[in-house]
Structure 1
């Protein structure tokens, strides 16, 4: 499947080289440029054949400039420094440059016609490659002890002997023979004699430091061959500097890291010190050239790993398609700017992606900047081998990726993994990869498989883990190892992949991987276990019995919460007689090992449930309808035990003084412990998912209610949610409508009688499983009392045979002071019986005027526009007390008159009726279905202006009443009030003039009111 259908797979644009396509063994040696092998004719064809070499070589601006300058100096056309040290910023490429010069000067006839060589000659201002004699020295396989044998029988023992023979044959060697055999550096005159006359002279010295370190062990008089070689280099550089048409190029390691590899570790320091000495000598006369730098590396890699374009048209097509891919990816990056590195926002990043294609720039960056600093990594050849392995695997597996990302490195067991583990110098990383990253049993693979097909196709977990692994290595001192989330996104995201998938998957990896470490907002893999692994080990040390006991203890602790009034809690019964048979609501909590699967099937319940509900020991349970059984859920018990194991493991880890983890992980441990301490009680609170209550025998004798998968527990106690669920199904009542008793809704009122003892009524509720469970005796007491107040039920104190008299009876307003009690000598009566026998003998109300139905006493103005007829009936009964109403017929007659006068409209079950003759009104249940609707009242007009003129004068003492009764209410409704006042003031003793001026006049003045004051003596 193509992850981005509108983008071409990279191998449709440019194919890998044939040896990569055929999956031939990809050794680092294939990419190792070896000048000695080229000279001896034993190098691979890509290096040995000058045409193939230049086909696979990218002539960067730096390399073109270097070749041009050397050719001009060999031709005598350019003055300046002819001692050149080659370096590259990323390691590698130095020997490749020497081979380029060697082929150019050794095989001019084969190369001159090539377009790039013609361009080179034009840049140098030459028509042909100068005739040149070449001397080559390669320190990697040159012995400091054994002589070098030449075809004419000459044996050269030193570097100067070898160079002399290559420049001048036997005659040239004769000039330095004495110095060579004695291993003493020749003088500058002898060296100049080798350089002067004849063709131009080109001296190429590669990997000299290796030779110098070996020469340190050979004594020459009071010195060593190393000292003599360094002295020779000093003479050689002076001679070349003084001799036109001679050029010396050599390579010296740019850092100690480049000296690592196959060299023995105890030689590293000496090699680097020797390199420093050579650099000191060369530094006086040399120029340092950098043939490949910056983004040139992308083209270098492409030339070496991928087939070249056949012509200019294909080259343009490749660039066009690479640009299409680059812009698609950059558009993705810019759509989430806050989640990506800042560099991708620059337009220059598009060009970088085009140059790096088919690799993502981060692929090269990681290998050069991170892996390239590791001791056993030869940068360019190492990168070429790794990328060759990646190309081979992606091509062979027919992957349709538009771009090769860091996430595409296949770290499953195979050559690529082996190579990376070898470079990382720690075989333990094989276990890290197997555990967390790649391979059939890795956790990242398991995470991907659990995400569902739609998301699993992106392999987010494996690809994120792969990217993090690649960022986890670095040999640079002080460099932070690992990848930020932005770098991870850059290494994983494709245009069709949901960006949000990255964050969620990282969180899952953090939670489940064993070797993933997080620090300073970066993620990396290490070969030491993280907190996840520590906790797994701690969890493995917690036994199943310990986890079960912890859950059991938590259930016991939570069960100590106060039960509902008039009830008892029974914890973990093992037999039916562990729960008493008594007239008191019992709440039974089964032990967690008595769990049942979710659902409402009865046959999956433990046998103990039925035994508890039906029996007490060997006898039938008398008070069957007084038990509620809470049954644990199988899966929820397992989850609680898992949570217990997690909590115990975290506690053990937190208390482990020998646990060696970083501070940030210790902080994470404390956070996880706090979270577990919160989660565990919640898991325990959820385990009782089923509640079972008695039911009629024809439905199995039990009713099971599944409380469902509750994310949170609303109640404080185990039974709170259970009782609420039962109440919603009317299987458990905290309130009992007395009408249900009067109408014998539950079928527990004895047939043929109007009175029943309260004791028998209560026993019926706690014995018969077909009726709801009552929360307690108080529910029945409140119901009887409410029935008396509403004239629905009557209550009387009597003896064992029945009520005694109306004096000890309660009904409606009659004897409301009598307290209801449950006993064998207290009785409940139907409303009809109570009305006939419990009330003083008074004439009943036989007529109700229709206007009374809508009067304020019966139907307050604040009441809704509609009102149920049973509410009106209750109001009429209350208002008529102590006189009873002579039956519903009286109400029916009044309603017919009001309906005929259109004072009310009538609805039955929400439907408007036009004829009352078919509307039943035989019981209060019928009245509950009927609703009266008052016709709409026309709104009273609201005047906008009101003028009030008092015809009579009032005493000033009453002015406050005018204020509170008139002015204040009007102002509260937003009215603006203007007063015109006229005062008549009389005082037989006279009015103080000062009071008139300072109080009266001044007060009106402050109010801005002009007044006229007339006074008489």
Structure 2
């Protein structure tokens, strides 16, 4: 019957209690005895008062875990490492979740069981094996469910690159082993477990000598170890004691298994490669029976004696050694030493000789020794006694005949090494380091030439374990063609890739690693192997098996398996890549690296040129593989050239992947950059802070609106054809009602769209129709600019990003930004500011203009899309002029057409002030920039000589009583016309009639006339005695002849303090009338006379003289009298 995850966790906790209780009780009693802690303190840590009265061994798992946590420094720090303390804390969390009936996902359950197994293993509890079986069964179920899900996913296809068609896909050249292709490797986990093999358990690849050597690549170091072992067992040489010492996962256990199977009794000819080694060793045959002893420190407990099948009780490690050498008979030889936990001394040599030839393998010795106490209160003996045994064992092995002792120890680091930390996975805590140091001191006199496999040998180890061997010529040709194509590609584009790719031996590396790219191995063996929990060989095998299985299922057809092809989106691969890292990496992968909604997929979707190659996704995968394990290192990250090495294949352009990297680095939350180096980190970049702040502005849009309005005002300083521009007015009351053309820029709350009822048009209509509570009079003066609804979101986002980066720089001290982050923020702010500048005209691109074709038709709205590189108001002005919807100038002839068309005449004339009012009011009339345009048009029309046919005349005033126009003029330039004046435009017909009548009256007066004035008299300012009749009379009243006057002269005294004002009036009121006459020559002379009673200072004399000369005075001078 299927069990639930809750039940699995409950069973795991039950096994944990059973395995942990003896260890905890033993350590607590030792600490109490040593005075490190007292029992009253211990009892206070029990959450259940009833448990406090019971022995510690009877406490429940919650009490045990709490006790370990609270007394760690006083008790358990000496035996266990800090990684084990982390396990205690984590399991407490799992236990609390289970107690509160919280749901457990399969991943949560797997994590809980794995942590329980690790803690039980750390205390050498046998229950660890049962928990391991539960965990593997759960993983099998998870794998089967994932397999079904993967088959259902239509999108579960591998990334295809644009490589040349001549290169065969790797799947057509080499085949994975069946267990790898099918995914059955999950059950074995590539776990070389010496104890399990010794018990006859485990998978065939480790248990069966023939299968083991078929899948094992014999490195130079392993060959040397096996040859020396053959000679030692055969009695012809070889080292008697060999120490295998590497970092965690360096291949020690695999080497021990090789020795174990070598002396299993299997014929040498059946084990691949052993015949050649025997020839090298000079050993013709091995002894028929070789006793093999296997001692694994974390499988044997110093506190729990082992009971054998016949009832024999074994308490110590040397007792177990004797039992495996010769059974009960051999144990009886050292029975007293086993009972009293004292070192057996030279008796060990006697046993080795008597039961030899023998192979003794000791693995995880530190894990056993660190559990011992200084006092002899454990069945396994005391800490000191154990090292006496170690010395006796090594000395006995050297003196015995045909005995080989092989011991594995964790690698020890210098204090300055990055691995020198008390939570080393294999060493453990303080006591573990002390045990390691003592064992090294005892065994250190033995010279050992064994070393782990090199990276290059690792290629072959992994290749042989994961793939079937290449056997025919076609397979070798396919491999060689791929290697040559890649090598040639790297040499051709040598500036895009790391320098080592140009070397001739890189092609050899490509062949050796085929079908896996060497960069994959380099990253795994160089970067990932620095992780405390990553085992070099097993970790690489587990990961690459998951990768190959996933790619095989998805039908990957790339020529090589590159970092960019590692399917991080596959749950099995992702689990392998994150099991050695913190849980923080999982959401980072989903967001920034490889997931259904990850950023790289969105970028590839938005940019077709990148999406065609899946370039951004490939860059992200390569970056993760190369940077995740070193994100906290001093020299973190990988260079852009190495990123391209992990991505680009022959037939593709490296520049495409450079563009993908640039886009990804500018948008990713967890991707850092420093010069050419890039890396992912669990800490969000300032980009994440900026994203969060930009998101906050959605909920608080006031700063965004204010920034938009500021940007608009700055842009609209260039007003173009408009006298005034109104930016985002709250209502029509804020837009004045006058005669000047104005541009109204609507707020972003009123976007424009093709919908007839769009907000922009409704807002514009409201402003056009009224100013506050009053109707708007001058409606033909307003045009509107609105934001595009489709572009508004992009514009708003750009503004929010700019504000976010600006706020980060403003608060850089408070945020404690380092120089790199400050540089990044400055770069991003500059980029965001550029985006705002570019998107402002893209957003505000709709010009809304009210139009009306005639007084009888309804008002309508026309929308125009603006283009060009000018400022907004300039664009609007250009568009209005091109559509003839704004007139910055107006010809007199055009004005006459409009007067006749509507018509705008009021009888035979129209006041200019009324006409300006009309043009500002009525939308069906041309839209003028301002009323002065109308005045200019009037001046232009009056000055035309063809005024009778094309334009009009001008009059200063109209006398309703007489029906006459005063100051009627035509065909002359009149600067006095102004839109606010009292002047009139007169129809040509009416003007002609009055002029003809005046001419006739003058002729009649002349006929009756009487003489011309004989002398000049003082006249009124007009210069004639009767301006109204236009007839000059002499002083005696006799009419002057009809000859017109041809000369005018006048003299006037000006106010010396306001010369400019008076001269201006004289110019407008006198000189302008005279200069406007045909053929007139007007001469104006300014005469200055100044009297200074006290005399003129020298400096004033000099200044006035120089200025007069500059102003070209005809004559000037100073007089002294």
Q: Same fold (TM over 0.5)?
A: yes
Work out whether residues 293 and 325 of structure 2, in 8 Å CA contact, stay in contact via their aligned partners in 1: no
SS at match of 2:385: helix
Distance 2:792 2:973 in 1: 53
The answer to whether 1:107 aligns with 2:265 is yes
Once the two structures are TM-superposed, the CA of residue 46 in structure 1 deviates from its matched residue by 0.8
Unaligned runs of 5+ in 2: 1-158, 1000-1077, 1081-1121
1:379-411 deviation line (CA, Å, top 9, x unaligned): 322222222222222222222232222333333
The answer to whether 1:36 aligns with 2:202 is no
Once the two structures are TM-superposed, the CA of residue 732 in structure 1 deviates from its matched residue by 1.9
Work out whether residues 610 and 616 of structure 2, in 8 Å CA contact, stay in contact via their aligned partners in 1: no
Distance 2:850 2:757 in 1: 12
Work out whether residues 795 and 826 of structure 1, in 8 Å CA contact, stay in contact via their aligned partners in 2: no
Aligned match of 1:22 in 171, 176, 182?
A: 182
Alpha-carbon spacing, 1:527–1:668, altered in 2? closer, same or farther (3 Å): same
The answer to whether 1:9 aligns with 2:169 is yes
Alignment-derived partner of residue 500 in structure 1: 655
Alignment-derived partner of residue 383 in structure 1: 540
The answer to whether 1:415 aligns with 2:576 is no
Once the two structures are TM-superposed, the CA of residue 532 in structure 1 deviates from its matched residue by 2.8
Alignment-derived partner of residue 1058 in structure 2: none
Alpha-carbon spacing, 1:500–1:153, altered in 2? closer, same or farther (3 Å): same
SS at match of 2:548: helix
Work out whether residues 435 and 441 of structure 1, in 8 Å CA contact, stay in contact via their aligned partners in 2: yes
Distance 1:762 1:56 in 2: 101
Once the two structures are TM-superposed, the CA of residue 300 in structure 1 deviates from its matched residue by 0.9
Once the two structures are TM-superposed, the CA of residue 54 in structure 1 deviates from its matched residue by 0.9
Query: Which stretch has the larger CA shift, 477-486 or 94-103?
Result: 477-486
Once the two structures are TM-superposed, the CA of residue 51 in structure 1 deviates from its matched residue by 0.9
Distance 2:898 2:266 in 1: 120
1:739-795 deviation line (CA, Å, top 9, x unaligned): 656888995788999998766775665456455423234445555666788867688
The answer to whether 1:68 aligns with 2:227 is yes
Work out whether residues 795 and 809 of structure 1, in 8 Å CA contact, stay in contact via their aligned partners in 2: no
The answer to whether 1:363 aligns with 2:520 is yes
Work out whether residues 314 and 320 of structure 2, in 8 Å CA contact, stay in contact via their aligned partners in 1: yes
Work out whether residues 144 and 211 of structure 1, in 8 Å CA contact, stay in contact via their aligned partners in 2: yes
Distance 2:311 2:851 in 1: 115
The answer to whether 1:512 aligns with 2:667 is yes
The answer to whether 1:141 aligns with 2:299 is yes
Alignment of 1:579-658 (within 5 A): 582-597=738-753, 606-610=761-765, 613=768, 623-650=778-805, 652-654=807-809
Alignment-derived partner of residue 734 in structure 1: 888
Distance 1:666 1:357 in 2: 44
SS at match of 1:138: strand
SS at match of 2:186: coil
Query: Which stretch has the larger CA shift, 740-749 or 158-167?
Result: 740-749
The answer to whether 1:353 aligns with 2:513 is no
Work out whether residues 227 and 281 of structure 2, in 8 Å CA contact, stay in contact via their aligned partners in 1: yes
Alpha-carbon spacing, 1:791–1:631, altered in 2? closer, same or farther (3 Å): farther
Once the two structures are TM-superposed, the CA of residue 102 in structure 1 deviates from its matched residue by 2.0
Once the two structures are TM-superposed, the CA of residue 611 in structure 1 deviates from its matched residue by 5.5
Alignment-derived partner of residue 254 in structure 1: 411
Alignment of 1:450-465 (within 5 A): 450-452=606-608, 455-456=610-611, 458-465=613-620
Work out whether residues 547 and 642 of structure 1, in 8 Å CA contact, stay in contact via their aligned partners in 2: no
Distance 2:832 2:385 in 1: 73
Query: Which stretch has the larger CA shift, 479-488 or 162-171?
Result: 162-171
Distance 2:915 2:705 in 1: 44
Alignment-derived partner of residue 930 in structure 2: 776
SS at match of 2:603: helix
Alignment-derived partner of residue 500 in structure 2: 343
Once the two structures are TM-superposed, the CA of residue 45 in structure 1 deviates from its matched residue by 1.0
Aligned match of 2:243 in 46, 70, 85?
A: 85
Work out whether residues 210 and 272 of structure 2, in 8 Å CA contact, stay in contact via their aligned partners in 1: no
Aligned match of 1:481 in 627, 636, 640?
A: 636
Work out whether residues 799 and 825 of structure 1, in 8 Å CA contact, stay in contact via their aligned partners in 2: yes
Aligned match of 1:724 in 847, 868, 878?
A: 878
Aligned match of 1:48 in 185, 189, 207?
A: 207
Unaligned runs of 5+ in 1: 841-880, 884-1017
Distance 2:893 2:610 in 1: 60
Once the two structures are TM-superposed, the CA of residue 58 in structure 1 deviates from its matched residue by 0.7
Distance 1:554 1:765 in 2: 33
Alpha-carbon spacing, 1:98–1:570, altered in 2? closer, same or farther (3 Å): closer
Distance 1:222 1:45 in 2: 36
The answer to whether 1:237 aligns with 2:394 is yes
Aligned match of 1:122 in 270, 279, 286?
A: 279
1:27-80 deviation line (CA, Å, top 9, x unaligned): 4x54121222222211321111111111111122332233223223433444x6
SS at match of 2:293: strand
1:795-854 deviation line (CA, Å, top 9, x unaligned): 86535569999998575xxx66866555564658999x99xx99x9xxxxxxxxxxxxxx
Aligned match of 1:296 in 457, 462, 479?
A: 457
Work out whether residues 672 and 681 of structure 2, in 8 Å CA contact, stay in contact via their aligned partners in 1: yes
Distance 2:806 2:373 in 1: 61
SS at match of 1:137: strand
Work out whether residues 248 and 535 of structure 2, in 8 Å CA contact, stay in contact via their aligned partners in 1: no
SS at match of 2:619: helix
1:106-134 deviation line (CA, Å, top 9, x unaligned): 2242x325562222222223433344523
Alpha-carbon spacing, 1:208–1:595, altered in 2? closer, same or farther (3 Å): closer
Alignment-derived partner of residue 913 in structure 1: none
SS at match of 2:845: strand
Aligned match of 1:469 in 616, 624, 632?
A: 624
Alpha-carbon spacing, 1:23–1:792, altered in 2? closer, same or farther (3 Å): farther
Once the two structures are TM-superposed, the CA of residue 509 in structure 1 deviates from its matched residue by 3.0
The answer to whether 1:665 aligns with 2:665 is no
Query: Which stretch has the larger CA shift, 633-642 or 785-794?
Result: 785-794
Distance 1:99 1:654 in 2: 60
Give the TM-score normalised by structure 1: 0.70
The answer to whether 1:440 aligns with 2:600 is no
Alignment of 1:155-170 (within 5 A): 156-167=314-325
Work out whether residues 888 and 928 of structure 2, in 8 Å CA contact, stay in contact via their aligned partners in 1: yes
Once the two structures are TM-superposed, the CA of residue 577 in structure 1 deviates from its matched residue by 7.4
Alpha-carbon spacing, 1:222–1:805, altered in 2? closer, same or farther (3 Å): closer
Once the two structures are TM-superposed, the CA of residue 591 in structure 1 deviates from its matched residue by 4.0
Alpha-carbon spacing, 1:146–1:378, altered in 2? closer, same or farther (3 Å): same
Alignment-derived partner of residue 60 in structure 2: none
Alpha-carbon spacing, 1:798–1:167, altered in 2? closer, same or farther (3 Å): closer
Alpha-carbon spacing, 1:546–1:572, altered in 2? closer, same or farther (3 Å): closer
Work out whether residues 613 and 624 of structure 1, in 8 Å CA contact, stay in contact via their aligned partners in 2: yes
Work out whether residues 295 and 321 of structure 2, in 8 Å CA contact, stay in contact via their aligned partners in 1: no
Distance 1:629 1:681 in 2: 21
Distance 2:860 2:964 in 1: 41
Work out whether residues 755 and 830 of structure 1, in 8 Å CA contact, stay in contact via their aligned partners in 2: no
Alignment-derived partner of residue 477 in structure 2: 320
Once the two structures are TM-superposed, the CA of residue 243 in structure 1 deviates from its matched residue by 4.9
Alignment of 1:275-286 (within 5 A): 275-286=436-447
Work out whether residues 520 and 562 of structure 2, in 8 Å CA contact, stay in contact via their aligned partners in 1: yes
Work out whether residues 425 and 533 of structure 2, in 8 Å CA contact, stay in contact via their aligned partners in 1: no
Once the two structures are TM-superposed, the CA of residue 450 in structure 1 deviates from its matched residue by 2.9
Distance 1:363 1:643 in 2: 39
Work out whether residues 670 and 684 of structure 2, in 8 Å CA contact, stay in contact via their aligned partners in 1: yes
RMSD of aligned alpha carbons: 4.6
1:466-495 deviation line (CA, Å, top 9, x unaligned): 333333443798543333323322333333
Alignment-derived partner of residue 685 in structure 2: 530
Alpha-carbon spacing, 1:272–1:344, altered in 2? closer, same or farther (3 Å): farther
Work out whether residues 792 and 830 of structure 1, in 8 Å CA contact, stay in contact via their aligned partners in 2: no
